[in-house]
Structure formats: structure tokens, C-alpha cells
Amino acid sequence: NYPGFPQGISGIELGQLMHQQATAYGLQTLLAEVTSLVPNQLHNLVSTSEGKFVAESVIIASGSQFRKLRVPGEAELLGKGVSYCATCDGPLFRDKAVAVIGGGDAALTEALYLSKFASKVLVIHRRNQLRASKILREKAMVEPKIEFIWHTLVAQIEGEGAVRQLRLKKTKDVTISTLPIAGVFVAIGLEPNTSYLKGVLPLDKGGYLITNEVMETEIPGVLAAGDVRHNSARQAITAAGDGATAALSAERFLSWRMSS
């Protein structure tokens, strides 16, 4: 739903186009994993898998990732029935029963999409009420392929080489049961990629970076933009706006540094 693309565009495609546009104007890029940031009053040391770099200003835009269940079998069966993306993997489960874990907008969006392919979609939620928007709740409740399992947690994902069943646990009486299933789609939200910043910069209780309205952290010259930031709308268009604001703030900081 990014403006300017009436037919829609995937996040990957949009990112590639942005990268092409930026490099056409001289931007230099390096693909590497950032392992640490050591800020100080003069320079910031950024350590990566491709070496160390010193910068007067740093914009942190490391985004977020899908939140994991962290139960046995989840990591082992990733790509073998465990997925975090219905639009990516949904067609693989045509005429098969699948489960969606979660109760928010993301979970119901996934469930509604999967109902186009799967024979049955079981939405498993730890509560007895959905957090999703009214319009999504109404659509899901009348979709004949979607069923709900309330007050339930996934304790384990089981299968040899492929997902075969879920081991479920009731939240009220801790009753254990099994559910034969071909695929499980985890949709319990996002978590920020800030583990390398713990103890370095202030984070909120969810692990998101705290900034002011112009994207500045408490350390001069260190800024944050996008999903990694506290109170972000978690949308591509707002992340782009954050990036523009952060770039302008970085420019002002560098101009001030040069003149002082």
C-alpha cells in the first residue's frame, strides 16, 4: 500500500528500487552484520562482520523481525511447515489444514489469506478475545474455513522432516492435547533488532529505541528511524519519513560539529 504504486509493490521490490535510486546518486553500500556500537562524544565505533568503521553520526535503522514462539520444533521445522509469511508460503498448503498462532491484525490477515488455499485454518489464541480490528474480526468470523481455538498455547511443534502436529496447552487448566496439522503460521507480532544496543542506548520495555520527534537519541549524533524506534507506526511510508527526518537531523548535527 505504498503511495505511488496503484497495483501494489512488495517490500523487497520497493527496497531494491530505493537502493538503485540512492546508489545512482553516489551512495556507497556495504552488506554486513552490525555486531556492536560504541558511541562517544567525538566519534562512534561501529563493529561489523566486514570490519570496523568510525563515524561522526550514525542512523540506526535495523528494523524488526517476526517474534518467535520459542518452543521445541519451531526452529528445526522452519521452512518445513513452520512459516512467518502466509503470502510467501500459503500456496504450498493447498487443500491442507493449517494453524495460525495469534489474535491480532497480523494473525487474522494471515488466516484470511490462507483460507484461499487451505482446507481449514485454525486460529490458536491464548485469550478468548481477539485484539484485531473490527473489520478483520467480522471477516474472519464469517469465513467458513476459519475456526478458533481459545485459551490455548502451543507447547511444541512436532514432525520428522515436516510439521505433523502441534502439542497444545490450555491456559486455564494446563490440559495437553495434540492437533494434526500440515503447517503453522506464527503471527504474534514483531520485535526490534536491538540486541546489540542493550546497555548502549536507552530502550523501552519492548526493546525499541527511544528518540525525540526529530529521531535523535540521548547521544548526540546517534539517531534512529523506522520500526526500530519507540512508537513507530510500523509502516513502510512512516519509516521512509523517519529516515528523511533522521538524515536532516544528522546533517544539522554535522554542520554544527564543523562550525564549533
Cell triple for residue 244? 528523511
- Residue 226 dihedral angles phi and psi, to the nearest 5°: 85, -155
Please compute, for residue 18, the number of CA atoms within 13 A of its CA located in the half-sphere on the CB side: 14
Residue 109 is predicted with a pLDDT of 95
Domain 34-64+193-255 and domain 68-188 have a common topology: yes
The one-letter amino acid at 191:
E
The band of 103, judged by pLDDT with boundaries at 50, 70 and 90, is very high
Q: Distance between CA 199 and CA 38 in Å, rounded?
A: 10
Percent of the chain at pLDDT above 90? 93
Catalytic residues: 85, 88-89
Q: Using alpha carbons, list the distances in angstroms from residue 181 to 17, 99, 133, 164.
A: 38, 7, 27, 6
Radius of gyration for the chain, computed over Cα atoms and rounded to the nearest angstrom: 22
Residue 1 is predicted with a pLDDT of 78
Residue 111 is predicted with a pLDDT of 98
pLDDT tens figures, 57-68: 999 999 999 999
- Ranges of each domain in the chain: 34-64+193-255, 68-188
Residue-averaged pLDDT of the chain: 96
Mean pLDDT for the stretch of residues 3-22:
94
pLDDT tens figures, 198-237: 999 999 999 999 999 999 999 999 999 999 999 998 889 9
pLDDT tens figures, 41-89: 789 999 999 999 999 999 999 999 999 999 999 999 999 999 999 988 9
Q: What CATH code would you report for 34-64+193-255?
A: 3.50.50.60
Please list, in sequence order, all residues whose beta carbon lies within 8 angstroms of the beta carbon of residue 183, skipping any fewer than 6 positions away. Answer: 81, 82, 83, 89, 92, 93, 96, 98, 99, 118, 163
| CB-CB neighbours of 128 under 10 Å | 12
Mean pLDDT for the stretch of residues 125-147:
97
Residue 11 is predicted with a pLDDT of 86
CATH number 3.50.50.60 is the correct assignment for the domain at 68-188? yes
Residue 173 is predicted with a pLDDT of 87
Greatest CA separation found in the chain? 68
> How much is the pTM?
0.79
CA dihedral of residues 84, 88, 92, 95 (deg, nearest 10): 80
